[in-house]
Amino acid sequence: MRRCDLTVRIGEMILKNPVIVSSGTFGFGEEFEDFLDLDHLGAIIPKGISLRPMQGNPPPRIFETEGGILNSIGLQNPGVKEFIKYKLPYYRNLKTHLIINFFGNTQKEYVELARILDNIGGISGLEMNISCPNIKRCGIVFGSDPRMAHRLVRAVRKATRLILIVKLSPNVTDIASMAKSVEEGGADAVSLVNTFRAMAVNIHSRKPELGNVIGGLSGPAIKPIALRMVWEVNQVVKIPIIGMGGITNAGDAIEFILAGASAIQIGTANLINPRAGIEILAGLKRYLILNKITEIQKLVGAFG
C-alpha cells in the first residue's frame, strides 16, 4: 500500500492534510518560503490581527526555558487595514488554506473584525483567540469565563459565514466546559491550546527575564498538559478539535490525533526548525504506510 488519505474536514473546509502552522510562530508565511513549499501545508495561520495596530510589550519578549520558550510579544501586529492591503495579496497565489487568527479588547471589536474579514475573498476560516482581557469587564480574560466566551462566540457567529474556529486558553480549571460553551455558541471547531501563563527570574540582576514579567509558555514542556486537555475536550464536544502544544515530531502529532485531534498545529517547533511542518507531515505519511492505515481520519480519537 503506497497511497493514504490525509485529508481532514474542519466544518466545510477540507484540508489536504492535518498539518497547520500556528499563529505567531510562522510570521506572515512569506518569511518561510525559502525553507519549504507552503502549498504542502494543510493551512497557514498568520500572526494574530486586531482592529488597530498594536505595538506589543516592552523587551525582552522571548526567553528560553527548559524544554520551551516564554514569550510576551503582546500580540504586536499591523492592524487589519494594513494586513488586508499589504499582507493578504501574498496568499492569493498559494494553494493552501488561509485561516486568520484575530482578537479584540471588547465584544464589539471581535464582531467588527469578523465582519471586515467576512467581506474579503481568499480567507478559508477564522481562528478567534479568546485568551485576551475584556477591557469592559475589568480585564477578565474572555477565554476563562464560559458564559462570556459563549456570548462572544454567538455574537461573532452572526457576523461571519466563514468557518469559525475558537482557540482556547489553557489557563482555566475546566477546559472541557469552556469547549462545550463555545460549541454551543456556534463554533465550527476548537483549537487548543494557547500558551500557559508563566515567568522566569534572573537571579543575578534579580529582575524578571521578560519585560512584561509574565509571558506565555510554549514548546515541548507543555505537551503532556496540552495532550490531556485535547483528550478531555474530546469527551464532551462533537465539533472537530485542532490540537497543539509542544508538537516537534510526527510521534507527537500522532499522540494528539489519537487523543482526539482532527488536525494539529505546529508552533514553537517552527522557530527551531523552519521545516518542522513538512518533516512532521512526511513522518505522518510514513506512520500510516507502516501501519497499513488508509485514512488518517481513522486515527482520530482511536486511543484507549
Binding residues for ligand FMN, rule: CB under 6 A, are 22-25, 47-48, 69, 71, 73, 75, 101, 129, 167, 194-195, 218-219, 222, 244-247, 267-269
State the residue number with the nearest CB to ligand FMN: 24
Residue 68 or 185: which CB sits closer to ligand FMN?
A: 68
Residue 22 or 160: which CB sits closer to ligand FMN?
A: 22
Q: What are phi and psi of 257, to 5 degrees?
A: -65, -45
Q: From CA 250, how far away is CA 63, in angstroms rounded?
A: 26
In whole angstroms, how close is the CB of 5 to ligand FMN at the nearest point? 25
Which residue of the set 8, 123, 132, 164 is catalytic?
Answer: 132
Q: Cβ–Cβ contacts within 10 Å for residue 23, how many?
A: 26
In whole angstroms, how close is the CB of 128 to ligand FMN at the nearest point? 9
Which residues are bridge partners to 43 per DSSP?
A: 20, 97
In whole angstroms, how close is the CB of 195 to ligand FMN at the nearest point? 5
Residue 236 or 272: which CB sits closer to ligand FMN?
A: 272
In whole angstroms, how close is the CB of 220 to ligand FMN at the nearest point? 7
Residue 176 or 225: which CB sits closer to ligand FMN?
A: 225
Question: Are 129 and 102 in contact, with CB atoms under 8 Å apart?
Answer: yes
128: closest CA among 191, 184, 52? Answer: 191
Residue given cell 472541557 in the structure block: 176
Residue type, 124: S
132 is catalytic: yes
Give 269's contacts (C-beta < 8 A, 6+ positions apart): 25, 219, 247, 248, 276, 277, 280
Catalytic residues: 132
